[in-house]
Structure 1
Amino acid sequence: MMKKITVVTGCFNEVENLEELFNRVAGAFETMPGYTFDMIVADNASTDGSRELLRRMAAKDSRVKVILNANNFGHIRSPYNALLQADGDAAIVMCSDLQEPPEMIPAMLREWEAGAKIVCCVKPESRENPLMFAVRRFYYWLLDKFSETPQLRNFTGFGLYDRRFLDALKLFHEPYPYFRGLVTEIGFKRVELPFVQDRRKHGRTKNNFFTLYDMAMTGFVNHTKLPLRLAVFAGFLLAFLSLLVAAGYLVYKLFYWDTFQLGLAPLVIGLFFFSAVQLIFIGIIGEYVGAIWTQVKNKPLVIEEEKINFDR
């Protein structure tokens, strides 16, 4: 019996990449007899013609399934919603910008057939901006170091996921999921496949400082309490140092009562320093409160405007 694999991707203004992505995915499966596939594309209200192209692709090939979102629900929620609707024996998650090569599919399938429930494609090398790659690697290291569960380094979510993992994923009611963290939290046997991430071939990246910061903080808030505990430790440490400085000034003043002048500079510097520390940790607490607020609101992942080829 042929096994079915569902390829899942999200897109926002990727009209130049979508056809090539599907053709390369289809080409990869042509080299692997014994498998059928379909591809779910979740569109986040694109404005560059991606929606019209997806409709044409779906009309031409029923293997193309399309979810047209009513609004742009972001690159975290939209692909996750599509993944929950994958009905294959396994699902492959990849980006639509062609930086994650579909030619990795045969290697993923071989590892899956060998017994791995999760095949994680990690990028020890990348052709992206060296500075950004270094920052990403540092973040992965930092999250892995302080997370309550071990995290995969240099892993973006690109990989293959068995049906048992997909069913387990549905038990987590996450309105704003950190998918990479869920992969390690859920468990199952997994293997890592290295690949070199390509440069974006067409279009421009949709990520900016704020989206990257949002994703980074989502990972920390969901998988470690370290920032909150740092606030407590820092409070005790600064209180202790303040007492030492106060004691030192007191002794110095007792010995040099007539000549010692405190001056305004230490007061001003100390005031700004402690104010900065307080603002930093208030912001950290705010991140955790914001995560709780998101959970309490329990909004749907996305609102779907239209679905194509899901009834076939």
Structure 2
Amino acid sequence: MQSETLKNSAAPKKITIMTPAFNEEAGIEDCYLAVKEFFSAELPEYEYEHLFIDNCSQDNTVNILKKIAQQDKRVKIIVNSRNFGPNNSPYHAILESSGDAVIPVLADLQTPVLTIKKFIELWESGYDMVLGIRVKMSEPAWLQIFRNFYYKLMSKLSPIEHYYGFIGFGLFDAKTVKVMRGLINPNPYFRRIISEIGFEKAFVEYEQPLRKHGKSRLSLYDLIDYAILGVVSCSTAPLRAMTIIGFGVSIICFFAGLIYLFLKLLYWDSFRLGSAPLIIGMFFIAAIQIFCLGLIGEYVGLIFDHARNRPLVIEKERINF
């Protein structure tokens, strides 16, 4: 009887919903209401907090969040002192979560809130992570081709597994967050970190709904930057490839030089080398050198970020903590 009483009096589990925001004034309140109504209707037995981190929005997003936070103490807000990029800001918020599990939800609700129920069911059955796998979305054909190529490339280059369609939406147990706090990641690549941590994982497929308000804040440069970060964070294979390519090109150049030398010696008067082969060869080798230097620069930049050891973000203010 006593044990049953203790069980019944145990505190309910707490879920942290984390939402990054940048110029989301048109839809940020809809996101808050969607989460609130979902927990009230579907998961009333759980406590929850809704943690918003604003990446220095230039519109009215912060003021809207502050009004919401005045009325609902479950809403917590972190306001960054400047824009620290789409990687650092949400990662910092995950580390600041206090729930038994944390679930990132996008402000534009393209990560469907209803999927959270399935996440929690799998979590309660013993999984430490539940990863949302996006199986359908509306995007240009060229971008889909690029994504497919990128995931195939990463699966070849990286020694750790990459999950096609995983963009960060999922449920992560508090012990996963604890491990993340112990890692030094001044420029975190979240998908790699999740793969490296391991633990028991379950997968839930979902279709990404259309964005209701505005347009995505991620530019083509942001997508390319994140792709390059993924490559240099996950694998040293490009560096090894540079060594192999350099050795291969040197062998080709050596034999090409020998062939030209023999032909010139055999046909001294009739064989004319001309400038075209020299120019083509010079530009070919120069292009390889420039590419290799750029690739080395990406790795040096990553090392530089680690050496500076700066914080993920600098907070301007906190509300309801």
Q: State if a TM-score over 0.5 links the two structures.
A: yes
TM-score by length of 1: 0.96
Counterpart-to-counterpart distance in 1, 2:81 and 2:226: 22
Following superposition, the deviation at residue 128 of structure 1 comes to 2.3
Following superposition, the deviation at residue 99 of structure 1 comes to 1.4
1:160-171 correspondence to structure 2 within 5 Å: 160-171=171-182
Cα pair 1:127 1:196 within 8 Å, conserved: no
Following superposition, the deviation at residue 249 of structure 1 comes to 1.4
Counterpart-to-counterpart distance in 1, 2:37 and 2:245: 56
Residue 82 (structure 1) aligned to one of 87, 93, 104: 93
Counterpart-to-counterpart distance in 1, 2:230 and 2:203: 20
Secondary structure at 2:154 match in 1:
helix
- Residue 172 (str. 1) matches residue 155 (str. 2): no
Q: Which moved more, 1:108-117 or 1:141-150?
A: 141-150
In the alignment, residue 143 of structure 1 is paired with which amino acid?
Answer: M
Following superposition, the deviation at residue 247 of structure 1 comes to 2.0
TM-score by length of 2: 0.94
Identity, in percent, stands at: 39
Counterpart-to-counterpart distance in 2, 1:134 and 1:58: 42
State the match for 1:10 in structure 2: 20
State the match for 2:169 in structure 1: 158
Deviations 1:34-83 (A, max 9, x none): 21111110001111100110101111211111111111111111111111
- Unaligned stretches of 5+ residues in structure 2: 1-10
Q: Which moved more, 1:241-250 or 1:13-22?
A: 241-250
Counterpart-to-counterpart distance in 2, 1:237 and 1:73: 41
1:94-243 correspondence to structure 2 within 5 Å: 94-243=105-254
CA-atom RMSD in angstroms:
1.2
Counterpart-to-counterpart distance in 2, 1:49 and 1:114: 41
Following superposition, the deviation at residue 233 of structure 1 comes to 0.3
Counterpart-to-counterpart distance in 1, 2:142 and 2:71: 42
Following superposition, the deviation at residue 254 of structure 1 comes to 2.8
Q: Which moved more, 1:241-250 or 1:298-307?
A: 241-250
Secondary structure at 2:225 match in 1:
helix
* Count of residue pairs the alignment pairs up: 310
State the match for 2:265 in structure 1: 254
In the alignment, residue 10 of structure 1 is paired with which amino acid?
Answer: P
State the match for 1:280 in structure 2: 291
Cα pair 1:126 1:196 within 8 Å, conserved: yes
Q: Which moved more, 1:90-99 or 1:122-131?
A: 122-131
Secondary structure at 1:156 match in 2:
coil
Post-superposition, which runs of at least 4 consecutive aligned residues in structure 1 deviate over 4 A?
Answer: none
Cα pair 1:12 1:45 within 8 Å, conserved: yes
Q: Which moved more, 1:196-205 or 1:229-238?
A: 196-205
Following superposition, the deviation at residue 207 of structure 1 comes to 1.3
Counterpart-to-counterpart distance in 1, 2:176 and 2:282: 52
Counterpart-to-counterpart distance in 2, 1:254 and 1:111: 76
